[in-house]
Structure 1
Amino acid sequence: MRVSKIGKSLSRLYVQVLIGIIAGVLVGHFYPDIGSQLKPLGDLFIKLIRMLLAPIIFASVVVGIARMNDLHEAGRVGVKAVLYFEVASTIALAVGLVIVNLIRPGSGMNIDPAQIDSSTVATYTHAAQEHGLLEFFMSIVPNSIVGAFANGEILPIIFFSVLLAISLARLGPRATPFVDMLDMFLQGMFGVVRIVMYVAPIGAFGGMAFTIAKYGIGTLASYGQLMLCLYLTSILFVALVLGLIMRMCGLSLWKYLRYIRDEIFITLGTASTEAVLPQMLIKMEELGCSRPVVGMVLPTGYTFNADGTAIYLTMASLFIAQAMNIHLSIWDQLQLLGVMLLTSKGSAGVTGAGFVALAGTLATVHKIPVSGLVLLVGVVRFLNEARAVTNLIGNGVATIVVARWEGALDMNCARSMLNHSNTGIDALQLNDESTSGQAPCKDAVIQPHTH
């Protein structure tokens, strides 16, 4: 009996990913020469997922909007999503600002800015200069839709998908065969996702082994206070702010976290939320959120609703200022907060987005030397893990909030799924049992929005 229970536990994806993470830490620490060569394993897994992102996002958005009875509904969902994104990001920035001022992780380092060699961060500072707010809005419209798909550019793909979906919706019944074909294509892509997710433990193992081998556990001790500050703030934000929001939606945060535990561990191991976007699209729909809301809110939230990035920006900026003994008044910090609301969006889609956003923030405010980014180079990978996991949780909550607000969340289905996840039902098993790619409680009726 005990052997069968152990075997059942080991068959669950989140357990396998957790084992991969632990094994990666051990290999990276005790065999750094081997660990430093395992980066391709993590990169290959993320590459497999990125291969699927463009077609899945395209089909999800087009099918969802094209099947809406009222195009005004799409606009309403978009406005509500953006409103929630901005409120949540502002709260995250404010929480980070308060805690970093209380703990002051950079105090006592007494770094002289004149002695810093900024050549190691030149790539990020150059990228920040090229990706300002104007460039961000210009990048939403692709030069070529084929190029956007080839490069996996999420925002241009969403932009094109929305326009195509609106056009198809206006065609009425004539567009139904094409939309049905896209829907079948989407279910096929989700099937590919289920196959790819079986190699997630290997990706998490390779990513963690490389990180520990390159930067060492000693780096964690050197920056322990900053790490503690960021992780503590992220946990408090998730538990208190997102927990309160979930309670207002009538759902349990803890059960929701258990429901997406596979995705949390994969994100922790790879430090990438992109690695779980396709699976999150499946899970949010299975949870009872309507497909149009999921297709619009979740991919867009990856750009506009970066709660973890917001916390990371405040922590990192003030850590550098404190390390260099730079005093920032309340007004300076509020100005910094306002700039971060913009730069956190302006770096979307750029490699090393968090670091680029931080570079853009410091370059805009002119109070903290951009060269101070050097202080974070050795620990940025560990900071990215907390940032990515918080972003992942926050975007799932955002999808639930907008669906609930819109009257497009089946509460009976949501509670049933969350309760089932509490008893150990694995998401991959649920997906394999569903031949249509829809939720196990798909027959439940979602209450329409009432004005």
Structure 2
Amino acid sequence: MGKILANYGSILLLLLGVSLGSMVGLWIPNLVDYLKPLGDIFLNLLFVSIIPLLFFAISSSVANIQGEQKLGKIIGLMSIVFLVTILLASIATIAALYLFPVNAGVAPTGGVENPMADNSSWGDRIVSFLTVSEFNNLLSRQSMLAFVIFAFLVGISARRAGTAAAAFVNFLQAGNEVLKQLLLLLMKAAPIGLGAYFAFQVKTIGPQLFGFYAKPMALYYSFGTVFFLLFFSLYAFLAYGRKGPAVFWKNNIIPSLTALSTCSSLATMPANLTAAKKIGVPAAIANVVIPLGNTLYKNGSAISSILKIYVAFTMLGWNFFDWGTIITAIGITVLVTIVAGGIPNGGYMGEMLMISVYGLPTEAIPAVMIIGTLVDPLATILNATGDTVAAMLVTRLSKESFASLDDEKDC
């Protein structure tokens, strides 16, 4: 019981806050008007912190990448594996939502116009998404994608500057640590802030809201489980041959249980490194792919990102299955898997990114944050254990040999 409270305490507190807020919204609606400002304050603090948090997280990570030739090759292959498999996870999730829609259970919120549904040309939209004309506009969360690109470029520039930028790189690292602590501090107020906002939602939309959450959760856990078993087995087969799935799953039991019991990708990393060694992944590959994958590679977050965008659009009565929306959703998902890693409660930062890019109104914010909390156990398993199978794929693409690979292995 002590371990459960230690590992899942923050989630349990958040669910308790949401439950209490729901009861207030149902049974004491007159109290909601006094509680809602608490929710507004919490969300505003998150939005204020998102810009510096993104800047330091991205620029410090990029500035500290080493540039040795072999390491560069591994990172290049790793980037391909991460990108392709995250795209596959995103597309598969969109297909599952198309085949099994979860748009019943609550009436759409009317009167809110979709800011993505404009008549501007693709060229104008790309320019507005990726760049701004004034530096002060870069600091607005309405220009989030442009800001992310700027942070990457700062990190690359600091790396290219070499020893002359040592003090600046140290500043970026220190800033990253400070902002991590800020987010930890803010998230201590999440049970109160989200509970207050959820009370407002229940009062406004009604008790049918709970039926709306049940269907996305059922889809996530059923589809996520199938994805976990099917896609990871496929990746192991492509990497190791016919024996790959058996070898992978035999050694993935402990990492999976570690991820489930700790609800932490970081805590699972030692188990992943041990599993990779037993599978036969070369140490030079495992020691690069698994630690970086812990930060940059998150299948569970990719699936939940698509689901949360879909749920938000359904609540607002917007059409998710528009090509522009889908392409943007996939792009956001790729960014979320990168920027959300290595930061406590980093999924919330990804949600803020998604909310900002789409210009979602406040009605949709609690929905995506609550879903992010409810899917966390399975998302952690997918995020954490995907690093091991990714290391297997990088080994295959690099033409390195598995230490335990039989000479007569079928390919």
Measured against the shorter chain, the TM-score band is 0.5 to 0.7
The 8 Å contact of residues 103 and 314 in structure 2, kept in 1 or not, is answered as: no
Q: Give, in whole Å, the separation in 2 of the partners of 1:258 and 1:303.
A: 21
Contact 2:309 2:368 in 1 (8 A): no
- Determine if the alignment matches structure 1 residue 157 to structure 2 residue 157: no
Please, which of 338, 342, 351 is the counterpart of residue 327 of structure 2? 342
Correspondence for 1:123: 112
Deviation sequence 1:63-105 (CA, Å, 0-9, x none): 22222122676665554443233211111122223334xx996
Gaps of 5+ in 1: 112-117, 262-279, 322-332, 358-376, 410-448
Residue 218 of structure 2 corresponds to 232
- Deviation digits for residues 274-315 of structure 1, max 9, x if unmatched? xxxxxx9x88999988776566567xx989983314764998
Indicate the residue corresponding to 1:435 in structure 2. none
Name the TM-score, length of structure 2 as normaliser: 0.62
Work out the CA distance in 1 between the residues paired with 2:82 and 2:151.
17
RMSD: 5.1
The TM-score normalised by the length of structure 1 is 0.57
Cα distance in 2 for residues equivalent to 1:352 and 1:153:
8
Does residue 17 of the first structure (1) align with residue 20 of the second (2)? Answer: no
1:195 match: 185
Displacement, 1:179?
A: 0.6
Distance in 2 between residues matched to 1:154 and 1:304, nearest whole Å = 21
User: 1:168 aligns to what?
Assistant: 158
Question: Structure 1 79/402 Cα, relative in aligned 2: closer, same or farther at 3 Å?
Answer: farther
Pairing partner for 2:259 from 256, 260, 267: 256
Tell me which residue corresponds to 2:94: 93
Match of 2:390 in 1: 405
CA distance in 2, matches of 1:43, 1:450: 53
2:24 counterpart letter in structure 1? V
Aligned counterparts of 2:60 and 2:201: Cα–Cα separation in 1: 39
Report the secondary structure of 1:306's partner residue: helix
Q: Any unmatched runs of 5+ in structure 2?
A: 237-247, 273-288, 334-352, 401-411
Does structure 2 retain, via aligned residues, the 8 Å contact 1:29–1:212? yes
- Name the CA distance, whole Å, in 2 between partners of 1:132 and 1:37: 44
Matches within 5 A, 1:276-355: 306-309=305-308, 312=311, 336=321, 341-345=326-330, 351=355
Is contact 2:194-2:366 (8 Å) kept?
no
Q: Give the number of equivalent residue pairs.
A: 340
Q: 1:141: Cα distance to partner?
A: 2.0
* Distance in 2 between residues matched to 1:153 and 1:191, nearest whole Å: 25
Mean Cα deviation higher: 162-171 or 384-393: 384-393
Shift of 1:159: 0.6
Looking at structure 2, the residues matched to 382 and 356 of structure 1 have their Cα atoms a distance apart, in angstroms, of: 11
8 Å CA contact retained: 1:284, 1:399: yes
Residue 147 of structure 1 aligns with which residue?
Answer: 137
The answer to whether 1:211 aligns with 2:215 is no
- Deviation of the 1:202 alpha carbon: 0.9
